[in-house]
Amino acid sequence: MTDSSGPAPRRVLVARTDSDGDVLLAGPAVRAVAAQASVTMLVSPAGEQAARLLPGVDEVVVFRAPWSGYHPPPVDAVATGDLVDRVRADGFDAAVVLTSWHQSPLPAALLLRLAGVPFIAAASEDYPGSLLDLRFRADRSSPGQVHEVEVMLALVRAAGFEPDPADPDPRRLAVRRPLPPLPAAVASCREAGPFVVVHPGASVPARAPAARDAAGIVAELVARGRRVVVTGGPGERELTAEAAAGGAVDLGGRTDLPTLAAVLEAADCVVVGNTGPAHLAAAVGTPVVSLFAPVVPLERWRPWGVPARVLGDQQAACRGSGARDCPVPGHPCLSLAPAVVADAVDELTAPRPQAQQTPGRSVVSA
């Protein structure tokens, strides 16, 4: 890849050992690599479903990385040795390690180097020694101000993987087609007319509205005559039941990620915090009302490539804290009047002239 006269890589490992949302945002970078090579993704269990949804991924390897996640597993020498053996046996020509700006790619790079991968590229602020062949460094003056999609795509391009010229929009998010059929309750809802999805939970509690606030949003939407579907994971059934009590369809714990993608695609709009389903909605082209807590940079994680309204106090005391649990009593950054959220839904679902949305552009309101 550094020598254009050499043979093109045949097999490339792309690593992103984070959650589903992070993996979905890696989609444009993955497609760029897939335009020139067979792609295997190395992911954590929390990102496996998303990896299997990404166009361009030929194989998925799952590893419980001890350097990733809010509750990382202890180091497992046997599992780590098995991963090194697996990667060595697969004979990859190159690897790209994708991370966020606050993460180090070097633990993964060390394992890949032990497995004999001859070319490894990653973005790293830390000195990599001999672990990286390409040490990519984005704009160091504002490391939190460039969107995840842009940074990961820039990294793979620096490594020699240009997007497919036939791709009409190489920066867009996407999922594999076809998606599964809609659950019966949602299909019936859709037959009756347009509906809105409210996803009240988040993988990080600080990024989700309080349960009572989510219930108030659903109740306001229903009072305005909207059909509402509430979604959530298996561990969020109590939350979704509370939110849906005002007259919504409760799908809590009843969808895998591909089925959730189908539900989000069928919706007119999705109300969701800064969590995986926000990026899944963007990947299927559905407008997003983003209830965005500023614990991480909006510029890095805002809804990408779809019409969006961002709500939440971006100057709140928790800004940039990276907190998992809200450090401010009352969670004020997301204590939004239900009418404000419903108004944003009205704006996004109102008829509008056909226009191409600039990727990542959002309207931000407190």
287 upstream amide cis, omega within 30 of 0:
no
| Three-state SS annotation for 335-358 | CCCHHHHHHHHHHHHCCCCCCCCC
Residues 221 and 316 in one domain: yes
Residues 15 and 49 in one domain: yes
Query: Is residue 6 assigned to a domain?
Result: no
Tell me, yes or no, whether 1 lies in a domain: no
Q: What is the pLDDT of residues 164-220, one digit of tens each?
A: 999 999 999 999 999 999 999 999 999 999 999 999 999 899 999 999 999 999 999
Q: Is the pLDDT of residue 358 over 90?
A: no
Least confident of 51-60, 118-127, 186-195, 348-357: 348-357
86 and 228 both lie in a single domain: no
> Looking at the structure, do residues 271 and 193 belong to the same domain, yes or no?
yes
Per-residue pLDDT for 300 more than 70?
yes
Fill in the DSSP letter of residue 226. -
What the block records as the tokens of 90 is: 């697969």
At 139 the pLDDT is 58
Q: Would 334 be classed as within a structural domain? A: yes
The pLDDT, as a whole number, for residue 71 is 87
3-state secondary structure at position 315: coil
pLDDT tens, residue by residue, 230-288:
999 999 999 999 999 989 999 999 999 999 999 999 999 999 999 999 999 999 999 99
CATH for 302: 3.40.50.2000
Q: How many domains does the chain have?
A: 2
The CB-side HSE value for 16 (13 A sphere, CA atoms) comes to 32
Is 257 among the domain residues? yes
Model pLDDT, residue 218: 98
Question: Is there a single domain that holds both residue 214 and residue 298?
Answer: yes
First to last CA, the chain: 46
Least confident of 168-177, 262-271, 318-327, 338-347: 318-327
345 assigned to some structural domain: yes
DSSP H stretches of helix in 97-192? 106-114, 148-158, 184-192
Mean pLDDT of the chain: 93
What is the per-residue pLDDT for 355? 47
Q: Pick from 19, 24, 176, 38: which is nearest to 95 by CA?
A: 38
User: What is the domain range of residue 78?
Assistant: 11-158
Question: How far is residue 137's CA from residue 142's CA, in Å, rounded to a whole number?
Answer: 12
- Whether residue 171 lies inside any domain: the answer is no
- Pinpoint the alpha helices (H) of 45-147: 48-53, 77-90, 106-114
Task: Report the distance separating Cα 37 and Cα 179, nearest Å.
Answer: 25
What is residue 137's predicted lDDT score, i.e. its pLDDT? 83
Q: How confident is the model at residue 354 (pLDDT cuts 50, 70, 90)?
A: low
Q: Stretch 295-318: mean pLDDT, rounded? A: 95
Residue 169 falls inside a structural domain: no
Domain boundary among 97, 123, 158: 158
pLDDT at 4 over 70: no
Give phi and psi for 90, each to the nearest 5.
Answer: -75, -15
What is the rounded distance in angstroms from the CA atom of residue 22 to the CA atom of residue 33? 17
**Is the pLDDT score of 120 beyond 50?**
yes
**Residue 250 carries which DSSP code?**
E
Same domain (yes/no): 233, 350: yes
Question: Does residue 215 share a domain with residue 146?
Answer: no
Q: Tens digits of per-residue pLDDT, 45-101?
A: 999 999 999 999 999 999 999 999 888 999 999 999 999 999 999 999 999 999 998
Give the span between the Cα atoms of 343 and 15, in whole angstroms. 40
> Nearest 5°: phi and psi at 200?
-80, -15
Q: What is the pTM of this model?
A: 0.93
Q: Is 144's pLDDT higher than 80?
A: no
Residues 22 and 152 in one domain: yes
Q: Which of 116, 141, 158 is the last residue of a domain?
A: 158
Residue 155, both tokens: 């990294």
Closest CA to 232 of 220, 222, 244: 244
Query: Sorting pLDDT into bands at 50, 70 and 90, what band is 9?
Result: confident
